[in-house]
Amino acid sequence: MLKSTIVDTRVRLRPSKKLLDLLGAQKEHLKELPANLAKVLEKNGYSIPKSTRILKDNEIVCKRPQIDVKLLDKLTANLPDVPSKVQEIDEMPEEKEEEAQTQPLTGDFLYLNDLHFLNSILIELRQKNVTNVFLYELIESCELILPENELKPRNPELEARCQRLREEQQNREYHKMTKNVDASLKHIPEDTVAYQLKSINKQIIAVAQFIFSVAAGFTFGFFGVNLMIGPLPFGFRILLGVIVALVIALAEMYFLAKKLHEYDEVLDAPKRKNKNSPKVSGVQMMQKPHVD
């Protein structure tokens, strides 16, 4: 199993019955509702008054709230007080019961902007003295779903290909190792005259290309610049031609060296072998049309 990248980074909250009940009870106070929240409410059988305006996602202010650090410090300063602990113990069983009562509703989730909306609504309602519920009391009864990696099984095709490539690699290594031991493998293909001729041919072509491009560079410097700019002294023309030819020669030299190096490597590592005829080297197979 492979872990895939997280697609949805949003924190999700499965709404509890308590939350939905509260929203259902207060629906006449809700002038507007986010689209997602309205959908969740309707799915769970709460009707929404026609007058309620549905907000689009981008209409909701979704900003990280500032934390009043001083207040937090002040409130938590007297933490070790004994009465607070007693109170906490009193509260705990109630919460448990509530959680047991509220069965999780499957299906839809609340996202961060819904929670922001809820927060602002609850602040409003508290100011109007309609209700005295805080967001944290509602959140407590909900289930928080964190973004997680999906598990994906490894593609069997990929697995097969990896297996095949591994086998080929091992075969190649084995052949390279046993090349000078096994007499039947030894003579092909490097020892045949055709192969030697072929590789010499290739190198000759590469060198000829080099010579041609240098000559062309010289010609350009000697004639081309003269034609473009006007009559130039003979010595200067030669100098120009040599300079251009030198630049081209340098560049060409680099590629030539690279190419010749590649030939060496090709000779070193036998190409991929055909399964049916493991003793025939790929290099020979490639050149078959040219062999007598």
Contacting positions for other proteins (CB under 8 A): 5-6, 9-11, 64-68, 71-72, 75-76, 78-79, 81, 83-85, 87-88, 112, 115-116, 119, 122-123, 126, 134-136, 139, 146-147, 265
What is the phi/psi pair of residue 14, to 5°? -85, 120
Instruction: Give residue for tokens 């090709």.
Output: 266
- In angstroms, the CA 93 to CA 127 distance is 30
- In angstroms, the CA 284 to CA 273 distance is 10
Could you tell me if 247 and 220 are in contact, meaning their C-beta atoms sit under 8 angstroms apart?
no
Q: How many CB atoms lie within 10 A of CB 278?
A: 12
- Residue with smaller CB distance to other proteins, 13 or 244: 13
- In angstroms, the CA 156 to CA 153 distance is 9
Least Å from the CB of residue 146 to other proteins = 7
Least Å from the CB of residue 211 to other proteins = 26
Instruction: Give residue for tokens 């410090």.
Output: 73
Least Å from the CB of residue 226 to other proteins = 35
Least Å from the CB of residue 238 to other proteins = 32
- Residue with smaller CB distance to other proteins, 212 or 263: 263
- Residue with smaller CB distance to other proteins, 45 or 65: 65
- Residue with smaller CB distance to other proteins, 258 or 288: 258
Could you tell me if 244 and 217 are in contact, meaning their C-beta atoms sit under 8 angstroms apart?
yes
Name 178's Cβ contacts closer than 8 Å, sequence gap at least 6: 185
- Residue with smaller CB distance to other proteins, 90 or 191: 90
Least Å from the CB of residue 131 to other proteins = 12
